[in-house]
Structure 1
Amino acid sequence: MNIPSPNMYLDVLGQLNLDELNIQQAFEHYRQRYQLSELAQEFVNQCGSIDADLKCHTGIGYCDRTMGKQIPKARNCEGGSIRGSLLRSGLIRATGHEIFRGCVVFPTYHENGNVLSAVGYRVGRIRRNDSAVIYWHRPEPKAYVETGMSMAKELIREQTYH
């Protein structure tokens, strides 16, 4: 009988990157929404500011604000985990709004298939505080650790002074 060592468990756990999985699922959702949206497809075909090479991109997506409705609420453990992951990655804001809200999205992929960055072109009306073009880069894993440590230090300082 083979008894797995504790290190084997940690190796498997280390391979699971739920943030990466949630990023991939978000861009897959956008891709599916683009395929269903005549408005977004027409925008890409008609827009002169989108490069011709991008118009042929196979991973084009469209953020039509439906993803947030499909994710469980933040009060739910699963929903809180997914939303927290998307917040850490910068795909949603603290308010829960997607950064690519109302945009046609063009992701850039690493050779291993992971999304590295994306650019979004706003379709339709542009609000006063919105940009016509949105840029996103996947945070480096090191950035998660640094952010977490600074937050922990801040919480400790808060507890010490009160």
Structure 2
Amino acid sequence: MHNSEITPKINIGERIAYPLSSDDACLSMVSSDDAMLQMSMKFYHQELLQSVDAIEFLKNRAIYSDKVIEHFNLGFSNRKLGLELQKLSKNDEEISRGALQRLGLLKSTGHELFYGAVTFPLLNQQGHIVSCYGRRITTESKPRKIYHRHWYSDGIGFFNCTALKDNEQLIYCKNPIDALSWWVNGFTHAISTIGSSDFNEQHAKLLKDNGIKTIYLAMGTTKNTLIEARRIAKLLKRKRIAVMLVLYPNGFDANSFITQEINPKDELQQLLNSSHRYMVN
């Protein structure tokens, strides 16, 4: 089982000026923590467009397309953000590094939290980044391999949060890679949090407030995942949201399932059609 690295939740929004820009490696001033966060994710996005390894990872997972990368602002952290900061004056570099450390995107050692990982930002309904999932694709030298990296703020949102606006039924997946596995096959009402354990009362309330009537839990069939599915189903029941349970065959999750199928769109539809009402006490 892969391990995860998680940052503590932080509050975004203090009005402080930070030097950073990802536009042709030209550094300029941005004026808030939120702007610093947005600029960092934009920098990662530009780096992914030039990364053969990151693009190959997405292709191997059957979730690659130019539209996916652009629409979801996917990125790749390859240590160049830290190198870019070295082009600043000493004072501006210290300010920027301090801001990134406070945000949690840089560790106290100076290393990037998402180094070696493809990044999947999660948004709130105002379009602001509130968390980010990172999947490491580079070789991990430590014995305790950390493939999943999680970054949180104090905000609540989802991966593919715009799907809440025009749908009464949603497919909830355990992470952004699984949500994209549905999305690229035409199921654009698939959403996720960073991980199933991240889903909480506030997420359930956000769904209720947006008029969501039914959630299809399509998280996987491992023991731990089914335990999480039951917990989430109870939260949704309290909000009077109906829950349908989607079961993948052979212990698959969404991504492993689509990479095994010749016609994944049709097979995913069959999984939805064969889902059953999840009754919890």
1:131 aligns to 2:146 (yes or no): yes
Structure 1 unpaired stretches of 5+: 1-12, 141-162
Cα RMSD over matched residues?
A: 2.8
Matches within 5 A, 1:69-88: 69-72=83-86, 76-88=90-102
1:36 aligns to 2:50 (yes or no): yes
Question: SS state of the match for residue 120, structure 1?
Answer: strand
Residues 33 and 103 of structure 2 are in contact (CA less than 8 Å); yes or no, is this contact kept in structure 1? yes
Q: Distance in 1 between matches of 2:45 and 2:15?
A: 28
Aligned to 1:122: 136
Aligned to 1:56: 68
Q: TM-score, normalised by structure 2?
A: 0.40
Matches within 5 A, 1:7-26: 17-26=31-40
Q: Distance in 2 between matches of 1:72 and 1:116?
A: 27
Aligned to 1:103: 117
Match of 2:104 among 62, 68, 90: 90
Q: Distance in 2 between matches of 1:94 and 1:14?
A: 22
Give the paired residue count: 124
Q: Distance in 2 between matches of 1:100 and 1:47?
A: 19
Which one-letter code corresponds to 2:149 in the other structure? I
Q: What displacement does 1:73 show?
A: 7.1
Which one-letter code corresponds to 1:137 in the other structure? Y
Residues 15 and 32 of structure 2 are in contact (CA less than 8 Å); yes or no, is this contact kept in structure 1? no
Q: What displacement does 1:21 show?
A: 1.6
**What is the CA deviation profile of residues 43-76 of structure 1, one whole-angstrom value per residue up to 9, with x for unaligned ones?**
012137xx79xx9352100001101011147982
Residues 74 and 118 of structure 2 are in contact (CA less than 8 Å); yes or no, is this contact kept in structure 1? yes
Which one-letter code corresponds to 1:45 in the other structure? K
Tell me which protein shows more strand as a share of its residues. 2
Q: Percent identity?
A: 27
Question: SS state of the match for residue 132, structure 2?
Answer: strand
Match of 1:66 among 57, 68, 80: 80
Q: What displacement does 1:127 show?
A: 2.6
Question: SS state of the match for residue 26, structure 1?
Answer: helix
Residues 120 and 133 of structure 1 are in contact (CA less than 8 Å); yes or no, is this contact kept in structure 2? yes
- Which aligned segments of 4 or more residues in structure 1 are displaced greater than 4 angstroms? 13-17
Structure 2 unpaired stretches of 5+: 1-13, 18-30, 156-281
In structure 2, relative to structure 1, the CA distance for the partners of 1:104 and 1:95 (3 Å cut) is same
